[in-house]
Chain A
Amino acid sequence: MIAANGGKLFDDKNRPLFESKQMLETLDYWKRLAKFMPPGWEGHGYLDTFSNLYGQKAAMMYAGYGRGASLIEQYAPENMRNTETYDVWRKPHGPSGTAPAAQVDEETWMLFKGSANPELAKEFLAFFYKDENYLEYIKSVPIHFFPITKSLRNSAAYRDIPMVKRWASWLQVQQEDLDKDQARPTLIIDWEDLTNKPYLLQILGSGVLRDMVLDVAVEGKPAAEAAKRGQQRAEQIVRQAGAAKW
């Protein structure tokens, strides 16, 4: 959301920017959105948000995932299990932003230093990503698993999967996000954040961003107050991680 509002989470010296204009606008947006959320939304888990959608308790999910398609096909009323009823909308951008932003799940492989058989690991990856093998992996959770290889993405074998055909418009949005380079992993605003900001996992795990949203949307605190508290916590986390350069 902050990216869609033209903001960043940290500056070049790793100082949090939680009290920025873009962040305050984003928090205010959350406060306005909260009025339309199902009662008790703050206590809902991941699957509850889907059940709100296919159970017709909510008209929209802000951050939905491709696996929602299979849940809709299983549990929504029969006449509603289609893209005419449930479709994906490219996220809007905020008043200070110019383009939408989306979060992407990624397929992360790690080859550890000192591994006993690094060549074997590389051989396995080459085998895994052969179209005919990768396709089987993708088929296990179609729509949610969007192929990272263009060769498979463009292949008839992939496009002919019945579920892919039924939910093609969902995949189109994912493709557009990737084509326009507007999808990033969690908390990554710029691609160099992946290497320049090693403390992001601590920021995510601490819940500081989630708590800021809860402060404004559930506790009703002013955005500036929530942002100030978040800023202090985030600064402490970055310092504890030894990454503070300001």
Chain B
Amino acid sequence: MQTRGLPGLLLVLPALLLLVTLTLYPVGYGFWLSLHAKHSLFPQQTFVGLDNYLYLLNDPEFWESLRIGLIYSVSTIALQLVLGVAAALLLNESFLGRNIVRGLVLFPYMIPTVVAVILWKWMLNNQFGLINFGLVSLGISNEPINWFGRSYIMISLILVSVWQFFPFVLLAVLARLQSIPTELYDAARVDGAGPVNRFLFVTLPQLASVLFIIILLRSIWMFTKFDTVWLMTQGGGAERYIRTMPVYAYLRTFNYYEAGMGAAVAIVMFLMLVVAATTYFFLFRQEDQL
């Protein structure tokens, strides 16, 4: 019997066990739970097969949460990319105090989510918030905006999320920018390329590989984001206007007390992400070879 591979197997065994425990087991248990009708507080469950999934197909709340979730994730990802890339380009240039600014822009990403949300809830408060005070004082708005009402709560959520997570994009893009050979820009200048063309034909192609990863990771994280969304309303007020799929899964489990149904929502999310990620790799697979 070959034993040459045994030491290697033993060395990866702890990591494998960790993977199984923290990833495969929860997903497997979630799938098993989704095939049952189970009250969240009681240990008994009844096998119902795919009934939970069939229910979701006809559940208007499920489809609404998917719609809201897509609006939220697509908007925040797009804005994070634009803001993150723009900030990285700026911080790649030399200017006085650049290092201090580089440290300051990381602040949103470093603070805990609950602190970030509380901070913004105070600033956006329609009675005594700083944002409304500024808007009204500067004459931009005649009256305070109700940032947590039906009309603006999604905008508020996107604003908070973009502010908190654009530094991740900035960091990754800045690191890549600093490794782009300057000869490429010199050659482009010699060929008569202006700033815009240098960005489009030198910078962007060089950023393609890192943007590929950023878009993939940010998409997964924003689509599955629960904490920021939940903390904005904590289940009350205008919550239904920002009820994304993770929030809906939570509500099904802990408010409706239907753990099986909540698990079904989570598994559907998981499958959607697997399909999306697979499609993404298939469409942009050449980029991951850069």
Contacts and interface: CB of A to CB of B under 8 A. Distances in A.
Contacts of B236: 45-46
A202 to B, nearest CB: 5
Choose among B147, B235, B258 the residue with the greatest number of A CB atoms under 10 Å from its CB: B258
A45 B237 contact: yes
A98 B261 CA distance: 41
Interface residues of B, number: 27
B256 A51 contact: no
A129 B287 CA distance: 71
Interface string A21-51: 0000000000000000001111111101001
A237 B256 contact: yes
Contacts of B150: 42-43, 214, 218
Interface stretch (A141-149, A155-163, A165-173, A205-213): A205-213
Contact of B237 (A43, A202, A211): A43
Nearest to B59: A236
Contact of B149 (A43, A46, A206): A43
Given A39-B126, A57-B127, A205 B254 contact: yes
A194 to B, nearest CB: 17
Main secondary structure on B side of the interface with A: loop
A44 B237 CA distance: 6
A43 B251 contact: no
B278 interface: no
Interface in B225-281: 233-240, 251, 254-258, 261
Contacts of A233: 61
Interface string A2-24: 00000000000000000000000
Given A40-B126, A55-B127, A206-B251, A240 B149 contact: no
Interface string A122-149: 0000000000000000000000000000
A34 to B, nearest CB: 12
Interface size class of A (residues with CB under 8 A): 20 to 34
A201 interface: yes
A214 B233 CA distance: 15
Nearest to B60: A229
B146 A202 contact: no
A42 B256 contact: no
B148 A40 contact: yes
Contacts of A52: 127
A207 B144 CA distance: 28
30 contacts: A39-B143, A40-B147, A40-B148, A42-B149, A42-B150, A42-B237, A42-B238, A43-B150, A43-B237, A44-B148, A45-B233, A45-B236, A45-B237, A51-B127, A52-B127, A55-B127, A57-B127, A201-B257, A202-B255, A202-B257, A202-B258, A205-B254, A207-B240, A207-B251, A218-B150, A233-B61, A237-B256, A240-B37, A240-B258, A240-B261
Interface of A: 39-46, 48, 51-52, 55, 57, 201-202, 205-207, 211, 214, 218, 233, 237, 240
Interface of B: 37, 61, 126-127, 143-144, 146-150, 153, 233-240, 251, 254-258, 261
The 10 closest A-B pairs by CB, nearest first: A40-B146, A205-B255, A43-B148, A40-B149, A43-B149, A43-B238, A43-B237, A42-B238, A202-B256, A206-B256
